[in-house]
Amino acid sequence: MGRLQKILIPFLGLVLAFWFYSARDTFKPEMLRGKRVIVTGASTGIGEQMAYHLARMGSHILVTARTEARLQNVVRRCLELGAASARFVSGTMEDTAFAQHVVREAQTSLALWPPVILLQCHSPGFHQPSAGDPAALATAAMGHGSEMLQPSSMWSAPSPSPAHRQLRGGLDMLILNHVGASYFGFFDGDVEHVRKLLEINFLSYVAMTTSALPMLKESEGSIVVVSSMAGKVGFPFTVPYSATKFALDGFFSSLRQEFTIQSINVSITLCILGFIDTERAVRAAAEVLQERPAPRDECALEILKGAALRRRELYYRYSSTRLPLLLRDCAAELLDYLVRSRYRLPAAPGAPRPPH
Ligand code: NAP
């Protein structure tokens, strides 16, 4: 056999294997229809866009963040777009107990049937109106921690079929996306800030995962962890933020190994994002970064596709994340140089803390 054939045959084998693998894994929006999904950090940015995509696909959605007024708008929009149900819980992820509370909400309420269960009240002292009082329901549906269902199903209560009767609260997908505010500039030595950011960006992710695991094991569901290029390679001016994102990689990649050893069929998708055009990111970095941000709605859809296909890692955009990372093992200093060259350096170190 000639040398060319020796190379060509394995190469063709690889191409065929790649083609087969890709053809098998085609995303269809139906994959997420009726799925019960928590999206954290969904009051703005990429999380908000993920909620809207999920709504169009007909998922049951529980969104969370701190700002109640924004969450109300997100829930309202989700219902307009076709969500099977949408509700919110507001609070801060600085508090581990709140992170666990959000998961318990999913346990008791996501995808409950029949739809006459219009609203669940979670604030102490909150008055739950009766199902026969449309005005009170409409008002209360906007309250803290409330559930809002599609208007079409609001006032009707069809008898549940036996299959529906078996539906209970539960969880198919946990999307961990929220991020605490940090500063943009040289590391200032503030250890307390690093600790606080670790609590929001890392420990709350661990707490939610731990609480959600029994439900995810039952549904053979998915965990989606939204990270960053800054969690794969050192980035200047975001030292505390980068540290929290590296921690996510360490925790969730190790957990994935243990799931495999224990035959736990829960997928973990780590999302490595480049610069995205969310308000916060543009406000903090547009002046100093020499690249155009990618659109947040497209980014959100790519994350959901990767999650539905149970990918281990998702890179968006591929050209500004996966490709440079190929240099990490063979030319680390070149990669460091490329990262630094993204910045207009004179402006960066003195840049003020982002306002939120
Ligand atoms: P964003 O627009 O600032 O949204 C952050 C979300 O987190 C908001 O909903 C915010 O809502 C919530 N949040 C902030 N502090 C919180 C707290 N203490 N407790 C609970 N929720 C809190 O951010 P984004 O740009 O969409 O980023 C989303 C994810 O993508 C993050 O994990 C980020 O690291 C990652 N990422 C983004 C970029 C980018 O360029 N945009 C690049 C790489 C990676 P409230 O203020 O109402 O609480």
Write the pLDDT tens digit of every residue in 221-278: 999 999 999 999 999 999 999 999 999 999 999 999 999 999 999 999 999 999 999 9
Instruction: Please tell me the pTM assigned to this model.
Output: 0.84
CB neighbours of residue 117 within 10 Å = 14
pLDDT, residue 350, reads 54
Ligand 1 pocket, residue 317 CB under 6 Å: no
- Mean pLDDT over residues 273-288, rounded? 93
pLDDT, residue 144, reads 38
Statement: residue 135 has pLDDT above 80: no
Instruction: Supply the mean pLDDT for the chain.
Output: 83
pLDDT, residue 25, reads 79
Ligand 1 pocket, residue 281 CB under 6 Å: yes
pLDDT band at 345, cuts 50/70/90? confident
Statement: residue 116 has pLDDT above 50: no
Q: What is the pLDDT of residues 24-61, one digit of tens each?
A: 579 999 999 999 999 999 999 999 999 999 999 999 99
pLDDT, residue 266, reads 98
Statement: residue 103 has pLDDT above 90: yes
Ligand 1 pocket, residue 231 CB under 6 Å: no
Cα-to-centroid distance, 44 and ligand 1 (Å): 7
Q: What is the pLDDT of residues 60-94, one digit of tens each?
A: 999 999 999 999 999 999 999 999 999 999 999 99
CB 355 within 8 A of CB 307: no
As annotated, the active-site residues are 241
- Mean pLDDT over residues 149-175, rounded? 50
- Mean pLDDT over residues 340-347, rounded? 80
Roughly how many angstroms between the first and final C-alpha of the chain, as a whole number? 66
- Pick the residue with more confidence: 126 or 37? 37
Secondary structure of the chain as H, E, C letters? CCHHHHHHHHHHHHHHHHHHHHHHCCCCHHHHCCCEEEEECCCCHHHHHHHHHHHHCCCEEEEEECCHHHHHHHHHHHHHHCCCEEEEEECCCCCHHHHHHHHHHHHHHCCCCCCCCCCCCCCCCCCCCCCCCHHHHHHHCCCCCCEEECHHHHCCCCCCCHHHHCCCCCCCEEEECCCCCCCCCCCCCCHHHHHHHHHHHHHHHHHHHHHHHHHHHHHCCEEEEEEEHHHCCCCCCCHHHHHHHHHHHHHHHHHHHHHHHCCCCCEEEEEEECCECCHHHHHHHCCCECCCCECHHHHHHHHHHHHHCCCCEEEECHHHHHHHHCCCCCCHHHHHHHHHCCECCCCCCCCCCCCC
Residue 235 to residue 226: CA distance in whole angstroms: 17
Cα-to-centroid distance, 90 and ligand 1 (Å): 14
Ligand 1 pocket, residue 208 CB under 6 Å: no
- Pick the residue with more confidence: 289 or 93? 93
The ligand 1 atom at the shortest distance from the C-alpha of residue 241 is 34
- Pick the residue with more confidence: 279 or 13? 279
Task: For a ligand 1 pocket test, name from 63, 179, 321 the mutation site with the most ligand atoms within 8 angstroms of its C-beta.
Answer: 179
pLDDT, residue 119, reads 34
pLDDT band at 20, cuts 50/70/90? low
- Mean pLDDT over residues 189-210, rounded? 98
Beta strand 147-149 with 85-90 is antiparallel
Least confident among 106-110, 113-117, 271-275, 276-280: 113-117
pLDDT, residue 66, reads 98
pLDDT band at 143, cuts 50/70/90? very low
Residue 55 to residue 191: CA distance in whole angstroms: 40
